[in-house]
Structure 1
Amino acid sequence: MKHAISSKASFLNKEIVQHTFIKFLPQYAFKNPVMACVWLGTILTIGATIFGYNQLGLGISLSFILFITIWFANFAEAIAEAKGRGQASSLRQARENLFAYRLIDDQSKTEKIAAHLLKKDDVVIVKAGELIPADGEIIEGFATINESAVTGESAPVLREAGTDKTGVIGGTKVLTDQIIVKVSNEAGNSFLDRMIALVEGSSRQKTPNEIALGILLNVMTITFIAVVVTLSFIGSIVHIQINIVLLVALLVCLIPTTIGGLLPAIGIAGMNRALKVNVLAKSGKAVEVAGDVDVLLLDKTGTITYGDRQATAFYPLTGVASSLLRQAAMSSSFADPTPEGKSIVKLAQSLGETLESASDAVFIPFSAATRMSGVDLKDGTNIRKGSLDAVLKFTAMDIAQLSELKIKVDEVASKGATPLVVALNQRILGVIELSDVIKEGIKARFDLFREMGIKTIMVTGDNPLTAAAIAATAGVDDYIAEAKPEDKLACIRAEQKNGHLVAMVGDGTNDAPALAQADIGLAMSSGTQAAKEAGNMVDLDSDPTKLLDIVEIGKQQLITRGALTTFSLANDVSKYFVILPALFAVAVPQLNVLNFLKLSSPTSAVLSALIFNALIIPALIPLALRGVKFKPASALSLLRRNMFIYGIGGVILPFIVIKIIDLFVSCFL
């Protein structure tokens, strides 16, 4: 998805301008009641100016400023939507001109058809070099697949039938081998179709907090309309003539136009930020709920640990030189393509060994039958590494004769690691320890979540002793050992019963119940269809640690909306002290005491306040789209920070800027 964000600037500029003006149409304008009031106020001001109810210069100036205010609000939303259209355009390219080879006649023949004609449960065959025509699950075979059309990452991934990595996405390319895929969605309802609809914003539903804030803004708008209308009646009673255009200006300055104009952009930007880290949120609600999560349920393998076992130590038997064991282990692994084999070579080299691979050596790959791998050298030397039983069989030795070897193997196994025994011809040299290594920096991330009041629970199939050791090293708050699928579900329900919001990650069919039960279920795109349907987010990179990023994005979404709302309401306080003296200063001289800014004239004060009101919206667009910088902290600390920066700052800034604008405006009056 990373590449999808980029587009030609001229295209985006044209699109942004076009959609900005489209939003002036009533059917769009009245979707936002706050900005609809500004829209109606603009029409009223233009009408009053045309019919001579106020000075021509003042009327034109106010009408133009009000128009610009609406234009900037529309502009903010148009920019956010333009990012989605750019992403959608790239995604559409991934599904264009797709064809499928559908299996027919009991899968003995194939027919070539357009991909959009495929139906759910159809079976297709995809060979190397071909594009996968539709979403589905591999039911036979395995292949490496290039998913860059969706994820933006060029590194191929492995998908295989009968595993938890069976899911494939339409529009991605098979690089090697051949697979048979069962289509999982009807035409028009594919993964890419849903992504396109979401990034374009057409399927974006408002979140509960967004709806609540919208109601608050609407109530405030109605209240200020009533206040302004009441002022006109009070003026007539006390024989104070108030210009209708100035009343419109007062209303626009009092209602929360800043947050009203930026609110749609903030909501769209939240989903865009999730897409930037290659996570598809099925709704804006999912992103926002992530910000309130206080319990994280994480698998050990692939999330807390790397998932691929890596060599961490060599244990030579008595009388065996450490260098001999390392050299033998390295020689048996120089042609081993597995992560374990590569890690053995890397560890031996880090300990000072030099790899001298022979070009005429015969590498023996690992097989399930032998449970060993190794190398046969030209001089007749045979080196093997593998399970204890397999190596004992290879050397024709009895474990009773090697009690020391049994002790070392048990020590490695008791730590949750995997022991590999190394033999040189008929002599056993020692043991290699393979461990699932904890990811670097994961403990620091858990510490940050603890600062935010989020509890982390590790779920693993390891025995309790191993689970406890890994949990302590990783820094999680709790763990569940020897966990089965029903244990995950029970844990989630127990936490939710205690009033917590729970997030979890999974990729297998057996994870689907827990993903559906969790408040945030992050499914892997490489996982089964059941998991992807059960979760409310899908990680296109299939990186389980992405759950940690999603929580931060959700919190940033909440903080951004709260910060800009605070700033908008604080602005209204300042504008009130600018506009009110300007309206009544002539008739009620005592109100001049409120004009502590010493603005040039009532007209200048009104124009300066409205200009500030218009300019503050585009000034905050980058912040609304990027989001307020998030720093892990307690809720109370974040509240204090926001009140100081966006509350107090929101009151002081308008006074400074309005005074500067007044000095400029007064030169033309």
Structure 2
Amino acid sequence: MFVVELCTILTIILTIYPPLFSGQEPTWYYLTITLILVFTLLFANYAESLAELQGEAHADSLKALQVESEGKRLKNKDIELDEITEADYEVVAGEEIEKGDYVFAEKGDIIPRDGEVVEGSASIDESAITGESEPVIRESGGDRNSVTEGTEVLSDVLKIEVTAAVGESFLDRMIDLVETASRQKTPNEISMTLILASFTFVYLTAVVTMRFFGMYVDMNVDVANLIALLIGLMPTTIGALLASIRIAGMTRVTRENIIAKSGKAVESAGDLDALILDKTGTITTGERIAEEFIVVGSEKNELYKACLQSSYFDETPEGRSVVNLAHDLDVEVDESELKKEKFVEFSAKTRMSGIDLPDGTEIRKGSVEAVKEYAEEIPDGLTDKAHEIADSGGTPLAVAVDKRILGLIELQDELKIGIKARIQELQEMGVKCIMATGDNERTARYVAEQAGIEEYYSEFKPEEKIALVEKIQKSGKLIGMTGDGTNDAPALAKADVGLAMQAGTNAAKEAGNMVDLDSDPTKLIEVVAIGKQLLMTRGSLTTFSIANDISRYFALIPAIFSAGIPALQQINFMNLYSPQSVVIASLIYNSLIIPFLIPLAMKGVDYKAESSSKLLRKNLVIYGGAGLIAPFISIKLIDMLLVMLGVF
């Protein structure tokens, strides 16, 4: 819009002192052109300001979440959690707590600063941050150890190491990102701006030479008319709407409860070629539920009792589901024999859990391979039964008593409702979906087939994700992925779009270029759709703008130059009243089309998952066609209105 500003200054000078540029038109004519150009600038600035207001409103909503709180700072960092008393901490204002301090939090306390749980487990209300009313569990020693300032402890106690200084909390950083991202141009937008500047330079050169061309045919072309021609040729429409398209796209992302760290991330999502999707929690519900106890080489009652006993103190969702299934089957055991201190928790080393009874009986359950290594008696048909479960998408757990395998527990993790249709939609967009899971080959193949995914990786370690990301990128493709753990951080940072979960570790949130406050991995699918809509909106309005300029060229050239070149009158099919009325009508149209298109730029064009070639044809027909027709009709109607009002 810089050139429009310069043109406005020239018309102001023409209005004040027409002889300076050999102006031959009346003062009111130059004044009218000046006022129209001023309104054009106002409408262009209004488009960007309106979009920025939405971003500021979101930033204000985040600021409202910041509350002044107190924290219980520990005097001795090495004290054990269960030994902490009121004498071991001091209550201080939140701003006095520094990075590296240790704080104690119990039921009813507000977390005073971002940190990581180093000891304990508690239920946390994060609704102030995420909008989700369901409490979440935060505990030490895993990927769910991150706590956020301003959230409330609902149960139990925590020992927390503060990881953020004053002003550097998650909320502070998110507010800063929302406020600054709307002001930062994306790489694609910068490229588009350079292209528009190149067009403007070409048109400016052409219009300047037209004055000398007019002299050659003994025709004095007024500077004001040349300015109108330049404004008509320049892509002012898309130039005025670029910023609002970008900001509106980012605003649509925030409505999904996702914080984008830059507009580039949203654009990249629209250009993605492939997505790496985890199976558990993304494609499936992530809640493996016990479906059946399968006897292999033992008595039914013996297996059923062992299943209940081994899971009695198992607080994992799988363990609770085993207990529930046993109760549904009316399984009864002597609960006095079950002691919590004899419960054997699951470990990555043994891949088993279980319980030891007072009489010395050992009961274990775990992965089939792990239990087979542990057991001394393995019944025939165990492997075949385990394969049958895996082939149906389930997970088999073996159960053994005193190193004798009794049978299997079948766990099933169902596909999320509608996930197959969403994956198909992504593939129709041209985005390849790749599943990476730590499950075995049989389970991975079954789930991939059910979800409609052709490429999948089984028994996949999280640290292998970065190698997969680099492999895809080396083929010249853009890749997106989700993650929540510290071991996901390198791949999140390497991916073109890395969607980190708010419930994950600080390392993951720092590495990703987007953070999902709802911690829903499937949101990446929504982000892709939003990114593609942003690119489609920009492409559609650019098509309209260029077609618009072409039409105005054919409206303005014959009207302005037909007096000196009578042959041009043959293409003046619009039969406009006069060169002066054409100039005024064209500038009025140019000014009004910007606010007319603002709602479309803010809302985004309707987007459906279709091939690129089909979308291109639709764009050319709808927006290209509208851009060609609208100026002819509008300028003619405005010209007739000006004549009816007696302006000309």
TM-score (ref. length: structure 2): 0.83
2:357 aligns with none
| SS at structure 1 position matched to 2:220 | coil
Deviations 1:418-466 (A, max 9, x none): 459899xxxx999763211111222222222222332221111111122
Aligned residues of 1:147 and 1:173 also touching (Cα < 8 A): yes
Give the one of 540, 555, 558 matched to 2:532. 555
> Shift of the alpha carbon at 1:581?
2.1
Using the TM superposition, name which of 461-470 and 167-176 deviates more: 167-176
Alignment match of 1:90 (pick from 48, 53, 61): 61
Farther-moved stretch of structure 1 (540-549 vs 52-61): 52-61
Q: Does 1:51 align with 2:30?
A: no
Runs of 5+ unmatched residues, structure 1: 1-34, 374-385, 390-397
Partner-residue secondary structure (3-state), 2:138? strand
Distance 1:646 1:367, change over 3 A: farther
The equivalent residue for 1:476 is 453
Q: Residues 343 and 605 (structure 1 numbering): CA distance in 2 closer, same or farther, change over 3 Å?
A: farther
CA distance in 1, matches of 2:100, 2:145: 15
Structure 1 CA distance for aligned equivalents of residues 386 and 236 of structure 2:
70
**Aligned twin of 2:255:** 276
Q: 1:81 aligns with which of 48, 52, 55?
A: 52
**Could you give the per-residue CA deviations for residues 18-76 of structure 1, whole angstroms, max 9, x where no partner exists?**
xxxxxxxxxxxxxxxxx122122223223312335432332232222211111111111
For the 8 Å contact 2:285–2:414, the answer to whether it is kept is: yes
- Greater shift in the superposed pair: 254-263 or 586-595: 586-595
Q: Distance in 2 between matches of 1:341 and 1:506?
A: 25
Deviation track 1:219-258 (CA, whole Å, cap 9, x = no partner) reads 1122222222222232234332222222222211111111
CA drift at 1:122: 2.5
Cα RMSD (Å): 3.9
Aligned to 2:550, which of 573, 578, 582? 573
For the structure 1 residues 366 and 103, does the alpha-carbon distance in structure 2 shift closer, same or farther, using more than 3 Å as the test?
Answer: closer
Equivalent residue of 2:48, what SS?
helix
SS at match of 2:180: coil
Q: Secondary structure at the match of 1:240?
A: coil
The share of aligned pairs that are identical, in percent, is: 49
Residue in structure 2 matched with residue 160 of structure 1 by the alignment: 139
Counterpart of 1:37? 3
Distance (Å, rounded) in 1 between the aligned partners of 2:291 and 2:30: 78
Q: Secondary structure at the match of 2:411?
A: strand
Partner of 2:240: 261
Q: How far 1:403 moved relative to its partner?
A: 7.5
Report if aligned partners of 1:422, 1:431 keep a CA contact under 8 Å in 2: no
CA distance in 1, matches of 2:114, 2:253: 22
> 1:499 is paired with a residue of what secondary structure?
coil
1:610 paired with 2:587, answer: yes
Letter in 1 for 2:418: G
Q: SS where residue 171 of structure 1 aligns? A: coil
The corresponding residue for 1:447 is 424
Query: Who is 1:121 aligned against?
Result: 100
Measure the CA separation in 1 of the matches of 2:342 and 2:272.
43
How many angstroms apart in 1 are the aligned matches of 2:529 and 2:564? 54
Going from structure 1 to structure 2, the CA distance change for 1:401 and 1:444 (only over 3 Å counts) comes to closer
Structure 1 window deviating more from structure 2 (495-504 vs 304-313): it is 304-313
Q: Which residue of 2 aligns with 1:369?
A: 343
Give the structure 2 partner of residue 488 of structure 1.
465
In structure 1, the residue matched to 2:286 is 307
| 2:35 pairs with one of 53, 56, 64 | 64
Distance 1:97 1:527 in 2: 25
Write the distance in 1 (CA, Å) between the matches of 2:625 and 2:106: 63
Task: State yes or no: 1:507 paired with 2:484.
Answer: yes
Report the residue type matching 2:232 in the other structure: C
Matched with 1:10 is: none
Matches within 5 A, 1:311-460: 311-312=290-291, 369=343, 411-412=388-389, 416-418=394-396, 433-460=410-437
| Alpha-carbon shift at residue 216 of structure 1 (Å) | 0.8
The 8 Å contact of residues 428 and 609 in structure 2, kept in 1 or not, is answered as yes
Counterpart contact for 1:49–1:56, Cα < 8 Å: yes
Between the aligned partners of 2:174 and 2:616, the Cα distance in structure 1 is: 34
Question: Normalising by structure 1, what TM-score?
Answer: 0.80
**How much does 1:99 deviate?**
3.2
Measured in 2, the distance between the counterparts of 1:304 and 1:164 equals 20
Q: Is the 8 A contact 1:101 1:110 kept in 2?
A: yes
Confirm or deny: 8 A CA contact 1:422 1:432 kept in the other structure: no
1:366 positional shift = 9.3
